[in-house]
């Protein structure tokens, strides 16, 4: 669970970078309709994750958001299947949308189990008011309120997003192409090209890392 305020701010900063990148891409140039929709979905996902990391996340309606991100998942999958350009971006968006669907499903399960008459401990009623949505979700891992398969799926998601973060970080580094060697008697000087960083993939890596942290908070 995210009880540490500093870690909350770190997660907020990670998703804020992703949101800023989506806004910058939408405002900087006119893209085709599919790319615009994809960036809007990623912007919505980043904002939802920021809110979820704070106490206000408990006040959001779960079912409408779950249906919205489910629709976003289907949309991104259709875009990935129909288009060849930017297919990786659409696949990445589909993964992030599906992760939101699962996270809201976990929150819905917790809401249902909390509403039932229960064997709750007195300490639960005395929890501090600053507990966020993820902290409340993490409480379901005690006793018998959380099915074992749900925790297993969440653990797999943590590992999956760790791998996705590493993959995006690797994609963010563009290695220079090997230049042809200069002729032996030529006075040409061979210049050493440095690797270049691609900011979109850096933002994808940060967003994937933040998502992994959010899922790890449920374990």
Q: Which two tokens stand for residue 143?
A: 């006793």
- The pLDDT tens digits for 97-121 are 999 999 888 877 776 776 655 444 4
The pTM of the full predicted model, rounded to 2 decimals, is 0.76
Nearest in space to 213 (alpha carbons), one of 6, 11, 4: 11
- Terminal CA-CA length for the chain: 7
Give the pLDDT score at 184: 55
Long-range contacts of 70-74 (CB under 8 A, 24+ apart): 70/97, 70/101, 72/41, 72/44, 72/45, 72/97, 72/100, 73/97, 73/98, 73/101
Confidence of residue 136 (pLDDT cuts 50, 70, 90): low
Chain centre distance of CA 59: 20
DSSP lists the bridge partners of residue 196 as 174
Task: Name which residue leads in pLDDT, 124 or 28.
Answer: 28
pLDDT tens digits for 21-36?
Answer: 999 988 876 668 888 9
Flag whether pLDDT at 12 surpasses 80: yes
pLDDT at 48: 92
Q: Evaluate if residue 179 carries a pLDDT over 70.
A: no
Residues of the chain with pLDDT > 70, as a percent, come to: 70
* Tokens at 100, concatenated: 């939101």
pLDDT confidence bin for 132, thresholds 50/70/90: low
């Amino acid at each position: 669970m995210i009880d540490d305020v500093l870690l909350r701010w770190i997660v907020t900063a990670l998703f804020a970078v992703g949101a800023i990148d989506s806004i910058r891409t939408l405002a900087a140039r006119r893209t085709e309709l599919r790319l615009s929709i994809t960036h809007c979905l990623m912007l919505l996902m980043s904002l939802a994750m920021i809110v979820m990391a704070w106490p206000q996340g408990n006040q959001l309606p779960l079912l409408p958001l779950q249906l919205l991100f489910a629709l976003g998942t289907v949309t991104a999958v259709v875009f990935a299947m129909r288009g060849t350009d930017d297919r990786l971006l659409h696949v990445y968006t589909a993964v992030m949308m599906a992760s939101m669907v699962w996270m809201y499903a976990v929150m819905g399960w917790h809401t249902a189990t909390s509403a039932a008459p229960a064997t709750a401990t007195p300490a639960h009623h005395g929890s501090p008011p600053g507990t966020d949505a993820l902290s409340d979700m993490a409480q379901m891992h005690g006793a018998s309120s959380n099915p074992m398969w749900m925790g297993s799926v969440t653990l797999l998601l943590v590992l999956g997003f760790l791998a996705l973060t590493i993959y995006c970080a690797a994609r963010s580094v563009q290695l220079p192409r090997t230049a042809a060697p200069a002729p032996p008697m030529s006075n040409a000087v061979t210049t050493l090209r440095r690797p270049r960083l691609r900011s979109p993939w850096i933002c994808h890596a940060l967003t994937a890392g933040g998502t992994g942290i959010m899922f790890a908070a449920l374990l």
